[in-house]
A and B are shown apart, each in its own frame.
With several copies, the nearest count.
Chain A
Amino acid sequence: MSDTHAQTVAYVRDTMLDQQDPPLNQTGAVKWIRENLFSGWLNILLTLLSLWVIYAALSHLLPWALRGIWDASNLSQCREIIAELYGPDKPAACWAVLAERWPQLIFGFYPKELYWRPILAFLIFLAAVAPVLFSSVPRKMLWVSALAPFVLFWLIWGGSLWGPIAAILGFVIGWAILTFAAPKIGNLISVILAIVVPVIYWLTLCGPLAGALASVVPLSLQTVPTQNMGGFMLATIIGVSGIVLSLPLGILLALGRQSDMFIINKFSVAFIEIIRGVPLIVWLFTASLLLNYFLPPGTNFDLMLRVIIMVTLFSAAYIAEVVRGGLAALPKGQYEAADALGLDYWKSMRLIILPQALKISIPGIVNTFIGLFKDTTLVVFIGLLDPIGLSNSIRATTDWNGVYWELFVFIGLCFFIFCFSMGRYSLFLEKKLRREHR
């Protein structure tokens, strides 16, 4: 080695340096503004443009919203008040329509004195989803979640408590068959039995049993017919039932689509493609107009129920595709390891494959649910009174003829809050998953 570099060779540090603060232009507001807003002419241009957009939007919206009138009994009165307060031609909102009609927008035509029931139901619902959504909530709460659907049904529709109880009994029967009979008669048969027996029970015994019990101990709430439900309550009921019901169906369809069995596979593919290929609104029209053609003469069931079924099928097809993506993302080794341990198909699905595939698919599933919730507005076209439908009928009255923005803003905000928080939840999950398996 040449000795030209003697000064750089044999360098030994004697004291360790302390950590210094970064230079000022590397932190603080100055750096931030320079880097984030004014680096380069394109950026400056974009910044100025954005500032202008923000100014334009706010300068129109804010005065209108803040000047708003909260206290008036009809639109012309409201306009008079505005003219009096701010002079003519000054834009101002008439929030009074919300002050007067908000119960209608939220509960539809649900009897006023029974508002406590949907509110209580909503609280129970929140308690029931908590353990499903957040793993920090005690696992025991899952029992609440399992029972909640029945309680919620009873609270919202009223009627005898025995109906839901008799229905629960069906599930108990199925569970009993699975746990007690399976070792004796084999898995496949017991699964079939566990499905068939409860269905027979629901179709035949369930009703009379509930009736008999009710005649002994009548435990019942005032019945509220479906037509009286509307507004966000309706959207929530349809959305939540659709979500809860479509998930298992979607998973089954996804498994079917992954299956090697020709007929099962093709059936699942056809089902998924047909459902997804046609707009929801056409399906809703089918539910409201054509379903009666397909059912035995004389059957006639609730429009809301039909809508829920359609919405469930529709989102199940979407969920199936999302879950299929999750299944495909799992490495083949996971299937093999489960096989090598001696787990059978359903056990390996339940214990190994689905828990992982579902975790991967959660963001997609949540997005499907957001979509489903937003799509509940389409029921307005088949005569159910969702928030948009109600806004139309509020506008149809003499008092509030001509009110648009206030209602739209309110409805939009409510949906935004719902959907945005669902979206945030899915982000939260995504981050949590990333932390768990690096």
Chain B
Amino acid sequence: MSELATREVDRSQMKVSDEVAIQISKMNKWYGTFHVLRDIDLTVYRGERIVIAGPSGSGKSTMIRCINRLEEHQAGSIMVDGIELSSDLKNIDKIRSEVGMCFQHFNLFPHLTILENCTLAPIWVRKIPKKQAEETAMHFLEKVKIPEQANKYPGQLSGGQQQRVAIARSLCMKPRIMLFDEPTSALDPEMIKEVLDTMVELAEEGMTMLCVTHEMGFARQVANRVIFMDAGQIVEQNEPEEFFNNPQHERTKLFLSQILGH
């Protein structure tokens, strides 16, 4: 974290517009009879960088996945880019090609090379010529510092490299909104730094970002807003400064005391 801390991010440089990117209202979700998400209300503006924190099992991943409709919500509504998420297949396809996602467990395609992993969706969804798709892919692979691995298979990479490929792959679609689910879980401190740097760069370019992470350094430096979840609810949300220095809710205080003490 020390490295990040030394870097001065000019937060005012990052554009946040008035345009609403994601609008979640009164969203509820059950797994069977287990109430995972309760009355979630959240408005994300275009260009915002939001960090989602919370104890394990609080529903962070589930919420993120709902935005992509990898999970179906059962009550309330979610609007992404002005399109309401319903069972309409066409809407879902449209939204998914606009929303990138980087999984907690990478989910790389083991039968394709790194490069093919990165070009698959651009070619088949965006209908971009192969050559051009490969150029974009190499660009992002360079950004995460693994261009030399392009022709290897995922099984031949280390965990950290895999995680970087996952990030690059989701960026290759050039989505307007990115969802990151603990993008640094498998990395060692040196690598963490590199990845966070890349994300800061993206943030500077104005991409809307939702990031589940426990790297509070990232939250402090990059986020506009920190959202704290517990037991399926948003318990507190605030600007990072306020959130860390002056938490309001009891639950938040407890959590922060653990994280900071660590």
- Using a CB–CB distance below 8 Å, which chain A residues touch chain B? 1-2, 4-5, 8-13, 16-17, 19-23, 26-27, 331, 333-334, 336-337, 339-344, 347, 351-352, 355-356, 359, 436-438
Known interface pairs A13-B233, A341-B96. Does A22 touch B35 (Cβ–Cβ under 8 Å)? yes
Of B33, B99, B225, the contact of A21 (CB 8 Å cutoff):
B33
Tell whether B125 is near chain A: CB-to-CB under 8 Å: yes
Chain A: which residue is nearest B105 at the CB level?
Answer: A333
Of B39, B169, B236, the contact of A12 (CB 8 Å cutoff):
B236
Complex formed: what's the CA distance from A23 to B231 in Å? 19
Write out, one digit per residue, whether chain B residues 233-250 have a CB within 8 A of any chain A CB (1) or not (0): 111111100100000110
Chain A: which residue is nearest B87 at the CB level?
Answer: A39
Tell whether B11 is near chain A: CB-to-CB under 8 Å: yes
Complex formed: what's the CA distance from A9 to B236 in Å? 9
B170: A residues at CB distance < 8 A: 340
A344: B residues at CB distance < 8 A: 89, 93
Of B38, B45, B75, B101, the contact of A340 (CB 8 Å cutoff):
B101
Complex formed: what's the CA distance from A341 to B121 in Å? 6
A-B contacts, 20 listed (Cβ < 8 Å): A9-B239, A16-B231, A22-B30, A27-B33, A334-B109, A336-B70, A336-B107, A337-B101, A337-B103, A337-B108, A341-B97, A341-B125, A342-B96, A343-B121, A343-B125, A347-B125, A351-B120, A352-B120, A356-B111, A436-B155
Complex formed: what's the CA distance from A189 to B46 in Å? 37
B38: A residues at CB distance < 8 A: 17, 19-20
Complex formed: what's the CA distance from A356 to B121 in Å? 17
By Cβ-Cβ distance, the 6 closest A-B pairs, closest first, are: A337-B107, A342-B97, A333-B107, A341-B121, A437-B155, A22-B30
Chain A: which residue is nearest B124 at the CB level?
Answer: A347
Complex formed: what's the CA distance from A270 to B154 in Å? 37
Chain B: which residue is nearest A345 at the CB level?
Answer: B89
Known interface pairs A11-B234, A356-B110. Does A23 touch B224 (Cβ–Cβ under 8 Å)? no
B16 vs chain A, min Cβ distance (A): 6
Known interface pairs A1-B224, A10-B242. Does A20 touch B35 (Cβ–Cβ under 8 Å)? yes
Interchain CB contact under 8 A, A2 and B107: no
Tell whether B213 is near chain A: CB-to-CB under 8 Å: no
Tell whether B74 is near chain A: CB-to-CB under 8 Å: yes
